Amino acid sequence: MEGLNNRQREAVACTEGPLLLLAGAGSGKTRVLTHRIAWLIAEKGVDPFQILAITFTNKAAQEMRHRVDRLVENGAGSVWVSTFHALCVRILRRYIHLLEYGNHFTIYDADDQKTVVKACLKRLNMDPKQYPEKMVLAEISRAKEKFIGPSEYDRNASGDYRRMQIARVYNAYQDQLKQSNALDFDDLLFKTVELFQFHPEVLEGYQERFRYIMVDEYQDTNHIQFLLIRQLASKYRNLCVVGDDDQSIYKFRGANIYNILNFENEYPEARVIKLEQNYRSTGNILKAANGVIANNQGRKAKSLWTDQGDGDKVRYSSYDSEYDEAREVVAEIASLHDRGGRPYHDFAILYRTNAQSRIFEEQLLLKNIPYRLIGGLNFYSRKEVKDLVCYLKAIDNGLDDLAVRRIVNVPKRGIGTASVDKVQAYADTYGMSLLDAMFEAFNIPELKRSAVKFEAFTNLIADFRQLLKEGASLTELYDQILERTGYWKELQAEATEEAVGRMENLTELKNKIATYEEAAETPLLSELLEEIALIADVDRLDDDEDKVVLMTLHSAKGLEFPCVYLGGMEDGLFPSRMAMYSDDEDAIEEERRLCYVGITRAKERLNLSGARRRMVNGSPCYYPVSRFVKEIPEEVLDKGGAARSVRQEAERKASKTPSGFQNMLRKPYSYGSSAAQPSFGREFKVEKTEIDYQVGDRVRHIKFGSGVVTALVEGGRDYEVTVEFDRVGVKKMFASFAKLKKEN
């Protein structure tokens, strides 16, 4: 109990029966959870084997594990500290055969899912324009989160033609996954709940195993997670859920705030303890947060406080445009770093939408300030990384047709799509996997001379499997894949900056494998692939990197920074127009919770800012100050920057005329002609920027190299282009600035 406040001590000692722990932002909930585990082991004599702690990210699970290890000398390693998905993987690896799956199943990521849905639509002769892959997958995901399978979905869709068609895809999609012995992320929970439902003897075994259950971030749980926890806790009811309804911001992912709001209805005997003392932020920041969130109706009353003093006031600045906003924010960061001695990783720039990052990125580049964009292209989604992971998948699970199809001609072996389709037809006829059919290539008359090419590929896979049987390490296997496939030599021969970047990524993947092998008691390829599949983007945020962090407010949850800049504080942007005009009464309240999360990320300095004029779809729009700014108590708010005109100040200070890129940034509404400047009350005419590429085309940028166009948004006189670059990830830019060249 050393170092805990009274409320925390009370929560630690309350071990029997249901407990709702309402833990405000920065109130030390992780500390309470870890001390509670230690108390159960050391003071209550509970077998560590019978304790389960569930978190939402691998990073949080790892931190909790380390803290428990420091508190308890013996047995802490037997405590299960896990994410929901990792917990389900472990259970299914042991028992999924009861649901007629192989225990050696593959976990499909988002790209794999799209490929399967695309194939299903084609097989069912359904128009992908009428039923886009993303829409279909989102609908399937929502059904699984509600524990609705294909048959029930079909029954519920009766009379609704569109939903009846989606039911056909849902059914075909699940059949294909089962045929490939694969599960998607939603299946991990769905199949575990299904397993417990149809095999009560398995559930009873885990109820005995986990007599004490703790769930972190309970406000972010969805319906199927609620069902899973209810199943596990139903026998002993020693369930402690920790969360903050004021930080429930993932409704779009299926999170159900009523899981926490209605906890006492589900468990009438539950005890409720509030943690309101904050150890992160200064007093004025907390008063701002309390002032904003108090306007929500659907919440449990609580108020954060601290004994650390008031600190600086919260600063709000209003700028002429979003470009002025970004320039001034970055200039202040540069000043605090150069003159104040603050490291760059002290600073975080947060915003409501991904699109807002572009202007901040440009200004940081101009100032030569290093930054890290969270939420860009995931490391494991990069082409070269995914190629090598698919080799590992094919070696591990021969039933994974998607992985095999991706790599059979990578690097090029002269195996075309038509040849692969012939093998697929053979596989379908004889009810075997694509890889097994490739092993029988010489039995497929239609292949003719191309059978020898498949033989070369299958020989490689067989050799790699033999290496593992002979005791080769996973890093040795990885090296052999790079060498014997010719993948590494091909990149060396290319000798471009882009190829060097890809080689660096492949080296980093090897680092990952080596780190896993070092930590694992018995390294297994299947376990490595699970770990890769379960990694979240925020888990990869390196605390030691001295870079300014840019991220959306949704990505920032669970993190903290000494200095936070929260941009775009305008009605219509934050809260969003969609929320402002939504029929959903909770829409504005969710936006307000998101603002509360943003405010409470700040430890010492909080700077809010907005623009009086902002470019939207190529035209200037004028937004009022965000209602959330107005909800902050006047006594803690410094509006010193609200009245000044930054553009006038910048022009007064300017000693030389900006040119090139800087000039374009200063005048965002100027696209090469002064006539393009908006002037209400008169007409003006400008030529439309012309482009020769579309979504899906490969293009080249003079600085960022090659990439694929993933989105095009047409504005009044220009296009906003989103490109997923092979080397540097996702970038957004105006077509007139980017000068992208289409690659043949």
Note if 30 is an active site residue: yes
Catalytic residue among 7, 29, 287, 612: 29
Question: What is the distance between the alpha carbons of residues 220 and 711, in angstroms, rounded to a whole number?
Answer: 30
**What one-character-per-residue DSSP string does 345-400 give?**
GGEEEEESSGGGHHHHHHHHHHTT--EEETTSS-GGGSHHHHHHHHHHHHHH-TT-
Catalytically annotated residue among 192, 221, 247, 552: 247
Read off the tokens for 696.
């899906």
CA distances from 369 to 566, 631, 702 (A): 18, 33, 20
Sign of CA pseudo-dihedral 56, 60, 66, 67: negative
The catalytic residue among 9, 10, 15, 30 is 30
**Cβ(245)–Cβ(272) below 8 Å:** no
Strand order, beta sheet including 719-725: 729-734, 719-725, 705-714, 698-701, 741-742
In contact, 565 and 114? CB cutoff 8 Å? no
Instruction: Specify whether 601 is catalytic.
Output: yes
SS3 619: strand
Judge contact between 271 and 2, C-beta under 8 A: no
The Cα–Cα gap between 647 and 667 comes to: 10
For this structure, is 247 an active site residue? yes
Query: Helix, strand or coil for residue 156?
Result: helix
* Under 8 Å between Cβ of 435 and 401: yes
Q: How many CA atoms lie within 13 A of 364 on its CB side?
A: 20
Which residue out of 302, 386, 405, 601 is catalytically annotated?
Answer: 601
Cα→Cα distances 16→41, 210, 266, Å: 14, 13, 16
Kindly write down the DSSP assignment for every residue of 173-240, as one continuous string.
HHHHHHHTTEE-HHHHHHHHHHHHHH-HHHHHHHHHH-SEEEESSGGG--HHHHHHHHHHHTTT--EE
Choose the catalytic residue: 139, 186, 187, 216.
216
What's the 3-state SS for 674-715?
HHHCCCCCCCCCCCCCCCCCCCCCEEEECCCEEEEEEEEEEC
Three-state SS for 481-506 is HHHHCCHHHHHHHHCCHHHHHHHHHH
543 included as an active-site residue: no
- Which residue among 186, 217, 324, 590 is the active-site one? 217
Question: DSSP code of 641?
Answer: E
| Residues tagged active-site | 29-30, 216-217, 247, 601
